[in-house]
Amino acid sequence: MKDLSKPNPWIYWTDFLVTILTGHAAFHVMLELERLTGWSGVPLWTARLGLFALVAVLYMRGVMFIHELVHLPKEGFRGFRFAWNLLCGIPFLVPSFLYYPHVDHHRRKHYGTDRDGEYLELSHRPPSHSILFILAAWLVPLAAFIRFAILTPISWFFPQVQQWVEKHASSMVVDIFYTRGDFGPKARRIMRIQEVLCFLWCIVLVARAPVMSGQLIDGFLIHAYFLSVTLITINNVRTLGAHRWMGDGRELTFEEQLLDSVNYPYRPWFTELWGPVGTRYHAIHHLFPSIPYHNLGKAHRRLMEGLPPDSIYRDTIRVSLTGAIYELLKRSAENTRRKRREQAAVGKQQNATAA
């Protein structure tokens, strides 16, 4: 695998720029479609829905480059990191500093424990927790706006608020109770710069509607909100299928971590839409985090050709995302029923002892 670990800057730059610039262009065409075409009624809304779906796919791919930023070499990609934040991270209120804690997800002794902000024991919780995780997408855009438009300027004047925001409101994670660690003075400086830019962008979002249209909320903000909810929903569904979530809070062995992760190598014409930029190869990514996204498919094929038939790596493969999520919900329902039976049995035993 060693020859596959070097990222190709041309692929990164071309893929990202074509994706995000086409997405921005399609978004503005969607907003101006009625004026540009003169259409109305069913044709207009049909075209808008088609453009909405296209923009969602493009923006999903553009945003997911944040995952690559964590794993790219520190040297040689500074310009790419700047471009990603300028064209995607800041406008979408997901600056790259939010994803620094992702490194904890790849630490062997952290994975699946309370030090891993990207993990929950979903197989050992009621299915409703997984459903609520998806539905939370409706609140995340508002939470992001509050984080940068309100909490950020307050934290400039109150050190205690700043400390709380840094620890509890500065991470893109699954576990809302995760506490962010200290990533050093350089990371803190980057955080401060990106916070200021996000705050200024929030001011633009608030002021643009009254200035441009004389309304408090216009079509731009409405479309932006529903696009945000769509992207977060897709990502949350993808996240549910990225693992089996078998951990119970204890430290897992390397083999257990591998078997807890999932690959979706089939039907790339579809899986690449919801799992772009290598995220559909989550198991092999945990095996070789340094392999760039554009080489993960090749790495997977090499492993499938070279590993013996009884290799546990083959157990990481799934064909259907919905099938994997169904397995999760079924497993969590069975575990929940089992726990209730055990609790009921313990309760009966205690009552019998007391009697």
The tens-digit pLDDT sequence of the chain (355 residues) is: 999 999 999 999 999 999 999 999 999 999 999 999 999 999 999 999 999 999 999 999 999 999 999 999 988 899 999 999 999 999 999 999 999 999 999 999 999 999 999 999 999 999 999 999 999 999 999 999 999 999 999 999 999 999 999 999 999 999 999 999 999 999 999 999 999 999 999 999 999 999 888 888 999 999 999 999 999 999 999 999 999 999 999 999 999 999 999 999 999 999 999 999 999 999 999 999 999 999 999 999 999 999 999 999 999 999 999 999 999 999 999 999 999 998 888 888 888 777 6
Rounded Cα gap, residues 280 and 216, in angstroms: 40
* CA distances to 42, 110, 244 from 247, in Å: 49, 12, 8
* Position 75 in a domain: no
Residue type present at position 123: S
* Position 238 in a domain: yes
Rounded Cα gap, residues 295 and 7, in angstroms: 8
C-alpha angle 309-298-83 in degrees, rounded to nearest 5:
145
* Position 344 in a domain: no
Structure-block tokens of residue 109: 């002794």
* CA distances to 90, 154, 179 from 163, in Å: 22, 11, 11
Q: Which residues have C-beta within 8 Å of that of residue 119, sequence separation ≥ 6? A: 105, 111, 112, 113, 174, 175, 243, 245, 247
H/E element holding 77? none
Contacts of residues 195-199 at CB distance under 8 Å and 24 or more positions apart, as own/partner, are 195/95, 195/148, 195/152, 196/152, 197/85, 197/90, 197/95, 198/90, 198/93, 198/95, 198/148, 198/152, 199/148, 199/149, 199/152, 199/153
* Position 151 in a domain: yes
Q: Which residues have C-beta within 8 Å of that of residue 261, sequence separation ≥ 6? A: 242, 243, 244, 282, 283, 285, 286, 316
Residue-range definition of the domain harbouring residue 168:
98-316
Rounded Cα gap, residues 133 and 177, in angstroms: 14
The conformational region for residue 247 under phi > 0 = left, psi -120 to 50 = alpha, else beta, is beta
Structure-block tokens of residue 100: 């620094």
* CA distances to 127, 184, 205, 207 from 218, in Å: 37, 41, 10, 11
Length of the chain: 355
In the prediction, which pLDDT does 345 show? 86
Rounded Cα gap, residues 138 and 157, in angstroms: 30
User: CA 272, 111, 331, 258 torsion: positive or negative?
Assistant: positive
Number of domains forming the structure of the chain: 1
In the prediction, which pLDDT does 212 show? 85
In the prediction, which pLDDT does 344 show? 87
